Amino acid sequence: MYVLIGGAGLVGLSLAQKLVELGHTVAVIDIDPIACRYAREQVGAMAFEGSAVSTEVLLEAGIRKADSLAAVLRSDALNLAMVTLAKHYGVTHILSRMRHPDFAEPLRIAGANHIISTVELSVSTMVNAIEYPQVESMMHFEQGQIEVLKLAIPNNCYVAGRSVAEIAQDARFPTGSLIIGYQSHPHEDLIIPNGSTILEPHSTVLIVTKPGSLHQVIDFIEQRC
């Protein structure tokens, strides 16, 4: 996949690094020559020095052949301009970082498929870490209507040694919740469990649930025998 990234700041370079590691072809655009040199020499991405909202630079960087484009420039206005140009040049998958919520609708109208609010994401992550310290990670889907959380199975808890089917059939397990992933050990692969999968102590599960059931799910998993 050919991915074009507008902005070689911390976010842009980190994104480029991850995508290169995954085997994608990545090109970065930035006005800073030092950042562009770093992208080439340290990240392994192509880099084009200039404005990411310049049609000349975008065409030189190959926007017409880009499968995806990420606008992570220094201002929402610049990101909006880049998204508009990406849509004009036929990029089908467009992502944009957003700082101020007033830009959400303009970015959507301009053609952004995914809009990531860096402030909202940071605050949400910190709130979850404070409110649910036992949850290793949590993701939100459908504007927060669905939550996916990663939980460790404590030793001597009720669910340790029980199968996924047993847990699902337990009346205390919140309705509408589902165990969708299981990792027996941090160094083992994450698998999709079936009804016969046994949850061992110190393993990890991924559970999908509704926001209103989060506390119930956590309390159920952590209850002692």
d(CA 5, CA 175): 42
- What is the pLDDT tens value at each position of the chain, 225 positions in all? 999 999 999 999 999 999 999 999 999 999 999 999 999 999 999 999 999 999 999 999 999 999 999 999 999 999 999 999 999 999 999 999 999 999 999 999 999 999 998 777 777 777 777 777 777 777 767 666 888 889 899 888 889 999 999 999 999 999 999 999 999 988 889 999 999 999 999 899 999 998 888 889 988 988 886
Compute, in degrees rounded to 10, the torsion defined by CA atoms 124, 172, 224, 221: -30
Tokens of 119: 């402030």
Alpha-carbon span 44 to 7, nearest angstrom? 16
> Domains plus CATH for the chain?
2-118 (3.40.50.720), 129-222 (3.30.70.1450)
**How deeply is 71 buried, as exposed, middle or buried, from its count of CB atoms within 10 A (0-12, 13-18, 19+)?**
buried
Alpha-carbon distance of 35 to 191, in angstroms, equals: 39
DSSP assignments along 19-53, one per residue = HHHTT-EEEEEES-HHHHHHIIIII--EEEES-TT
Rounded Cα–Cα distance for residues 85 and 82 (Å): 5
Nearest to 28 by CA among 49, 10, 53: 49
The reported pLDDT for the residue numbered 136 is 77
Task: Answer positive or negative: Cα dihedral of 153, 158, 161, 165.
Answer: negative
CA angle 18-23-29, nearest 5°?
Answer: 60
Q: Has this prediction a pTM greater than 0.75?
A: no
pLDDT at 224: 81
- pLDDT of the residue at 50: 97
